[in-house]
Structure 1
Amino acid sequence: MAETVLDLREARLVLEGSAGPLEILKGITLSAVRGDSLGLVGPSGSGKSSLLMLMGGLERATSGQVIALGHDLTQMDEDALARFRRNNMGIVFQSFHLIPTMTALENVAIPLELAGVPDAFDRARRELEAMGLGRRTGHYPSQLSGGEQQRVALARAAAPRPAILLADEPTGNLDAATGETIMDLLFDLRDRHGSTLVLVTHADELTRRCDRVVRLADGALVAEPAGPAARVAE
């Protein structure tokens, strides 16, 4: 039986706004097993990115449970969440979030050094080479194209060999050809490391490649087509 890696149980997210409480997510129940690829789709403002943030412990559920690798993230303090993410998760955003004063190699090596990996720079170099950036390791983000910066971000997320890989619109800032390359690299990472991949996307090309696709609308889960060929129209 496949191992359940992510398990959300009636997870709700309510944020305080100027006009009072705003319910962002409304009782989400959803799970993903090891090696699964899960696409989150829906219109802007439907709660896709917020759901991804709950899965990564970057937002705390107001009620319900968010269980990752058997650990309830809603019961952890910020320090414990940071350690858990460092050791078990890779997160890729639409904006690359690279440190501008560090080279590509240094950006990828940072999470490994923080985790105490003894060969941090060697492993970082190998991940960059796997991304086709072997000759760009000494370049700073400002010296790289958007596609190259996203590949550095992917290498940084993948270098710790995470059990869970979360991606929020990873091709959103890229042209079609570069976006296709990033798609290939994402699924290659999933295959190489056996990670569970969860991604937020508006790209039909990405949803077609996911094992499962779920749709959100107004903070609620409204559909979950089955099968690797599942496609949800935007």
Structure 2
Amino acid sequence: MWIKICGIRSMQDAEVVSQFQPAAIGLNFYQKSPRSVTRKLAGEILPLIPDSIERVGVFVDQFPEEIAEIANELSLTHVQLHGDYQPEKLNALANYSIIWVYRMGKEGIAPLLKQLDSLKQNQIPITACLIDARVPGLYGGSGQTVDWESLVREYDREKLPKLILAGGLVPENIAEAISVVHPWGVDVASGVEREDQKDAPLIEQFMKNARSDHRLG
């Protein structure tokens, strides 16, 4: 199970998270987010992250050229794109590993499948799709869960081979979420925080529950 701990915003967060060796950590470059980091701070945090842990940069409607510049400067493993990006305008990121984010609402994942077709037509390869709950005005970190059952009904593993589940995941529900959806990976931010900092006991329990034996029904 690929596990990403997102919203690392301090050197203390980096040290706490690194001891549990998740597959990836996320640094949020969206300045309106309470978990945002500057390029300077990100540059101070990343040396504390073991090389074995993937580094994901989280971006919201920032210019592709700026994203590429940050990805190069910080040697990011993946760029995670939230917002209203147009596939035909992403040429600057064609050679980067992209995690495409879809905020799922009542309309299900049909719009996501159209987006993926457009990305393919524009020769923009996608490494994985992250599905989060749609909450007006927020781009992740809302604490709201996706409608897991609805997602499963529409989930086509051939079209979404690497689905990352996000949204309202906590130690208490992660095992159930995985057993229902069977995602390739999971992403957590607020669910492992206490008093706005990453919390070691919560991370430990989250990862233990996420990596437990989830047998297919």
User: TM range, normalised to the smaller chain?
Assistant: 0.3 to 0.5
TM-score by length of 2: 0.41
Q: Tell me which of the two structures has the higher relative contact order, counting C-alpha pairs closer than 8 angstroms and 6 or more residues apart.
A: 1
TM-score by length of 1: 0.39
